[in-house]
Amino acid sequence: MVLRRGANLDDAKGLNRRVAFEAIYRNGPISRNAVATRMQVTPQTVSNIVADFEAYGVIEERPIHTGKKGKPAREYTVQPNSILNIGLHIDQHNVTGVVTNVDGQDFGRQRAKLANQEPDYVEGVAAGIVEKLAGGDPSFGSRLLGVGVAMPGIFRDGVFLSGNALTMTNWKGHPLAQTLSRRLGLPVFVENDATTAAIGEGLFGEARNVASYVYFYFGLGLGGGLMINGTQYVGAHNRSAEIGHMIVDPGGRPCPCGNKGCLERYASLFSAYQAITGSDTEFEAVPPKAISEAFRSGDTRLKAWSKVAAKHLYTGINILQNVIDPEVIYLGGQLPKELLEELGRSVLEQHQASQKDPEISARLQLRVVDGDVALGAAALPLSTLLNPPVNGHTGLDYVRPTEGSSLYNLLAG
Ligand SMILES: [Zn+2]
């Protein structure tokens, strides 16, 4: 059973700030009374909280033009450019950085190639990108909520626990959130790349108004994200949505996890690459471009791969559909979009051919999205604010330093 933790006076203040900010962010422009009703507090409490936000320039108050005489009612809205976020996507080849406003509007990108995957070196490259993205704007620091970092692997308390990418072996036990936060003097939020793509879609993308969804992220392997009633479902061991390791072909292809017939052995960048090159080197650096070229040239080996991948993908989606009953299933990541669309069409055909009840058949909503992990990473600081901790845990691993985080402290209390 999950217990909402009790709040002492300081915590309650923080919680109220988060909830007020969320009410205005998600529903603004919204009147003071409407915020108070949503929060179940007095309008005066709302005014007190909002006064602090206004002083910082985060919330704007303006009159509602009702056409009636007398003193006009006021409504609140978030100033979109008053809150900036930096997102960093670290993969085996590059670090990609993006700066966005509170609506996910992209204000600029930077990318640097990685010469190796040593943690200290990679962090140095990441810090260089943050510096470039912030460069030249004196107001940047005061408007920056935090830095989100997404990379392959599983994290707990900001520490890299494990990952399949063999070139990242030295990351095991590395406290990424802590060391990068110390280096930057900023709040740092760390999450798995696939889960980050799912969170980003929910905050800035197609899933903005979708409460429950499953996201399939086709990276080197196959990862995912599970959102239930607007909150990321983390799992007891931070290992929820490891959809690539659902067994869809019992006794099938061996997987490094120890099982046989895991979905990602059939449906992932790596398995597509294996199909077109015949390579069986485990998780070697796969250039996504190779798959795009094979797709464009109509490579028959990729076509054969796609058929098998779609069959197993349907098995996995059918399980999730029956267990979770999500509103939408998203397919995104590093496979070419047209190829994902082809897989999606095939899954829908299999679903429609096998489900007798048209009402149940219509429930499978499948959509293909871009899978922009850097943009998703920029959503991580905001996502933490909007999902107050349950049992002290938000699902995101983050470190909030004492310095350089005035905006985060203002909003989180
Ligand atoms: Zn496996």
pLDDT on residue 369:
95
* Residue 250 clears pLDDT 50, i.e. is over it: yes
CA of 391 to the centre of ligand 1 (A): 30
Residue 278's CATH number: 3.30.420.40
* Residue 391 clears pLDDT 50, i.e. is over it: no
Domain that holds residue 63: 9-78
- Distance (Å, whole) CA 29 – CA 61: 9
- Identify whether 1 is part of a domain: no
Examine the domain organization and report whether 239 and 325 are in the same domain.
Answer: yes
**Residue 136 or 384, more confident:** 384
CB 107 within 8 A of CB 139: no
Number of domains in the chain: 3
Instruction: Please say whether the dihedral angle defined by the alpha carbons of residues 288, 293, 296 and 299, taken in this order, is positive or negative.
Output: negative
CA of 260 to the centre of ligand 1 (A): 7
Which residues are in the CB-under-5-Å shell of ion ligand 1? Answer: 245, 255, 257, 259, 262
The stretch 192-200 carries a mean pLDDT of 92
Q: Which of 71-80, 216-225, 390-399 holds the top average pLDDT?
A: 216-225
- Identify whether 3 is part of a domain: no
Average pLDDT of the chain to the nearest whole number: 87
CA of 222 to the centre of ligand 1 (A): 10
CA of 251 to the centre of ligand 1 (A): 12
Examine the domain organization and report whether 60 and 130 are in the same domain.
Answer: no
3-state secondary structure of 186: coil
The stretch 370-386 carries a mean pLDDT of 90
Examine the domain organization and report whether 384 and 354 are in the same domain.
Answer: no
**Residue 386 or 32, more confident:** 32
Beta partners for residue 150, in sequence order: 89, 191
Examine the domain organization and report whether 364 and 381 are in the same domain.
Answer: no
- Distance (Å, whole) CA 181 – CA 201: 25
pLDDT tens track for 82-135: 999 999 999 888 999 999 999 999 999 999 999 988 999 999 999 999 999 988
CA of 68 to the centre of ligand 1 (A): 65
Examine the domain organization and report whether 292 and 237 are in the same domain.
Answer: yes
Examine the domain organization and report whether 236 and 355 are in the same domain.
Answer: yes
Examine the domain organization and report whether 381 and 360 are in the same domain.
Answer: no
pLDDT tens track for 162-195: 776 555 778 889 999 999 999 988 889 998 899 9
- Identify whether 204 is part of a domain: no
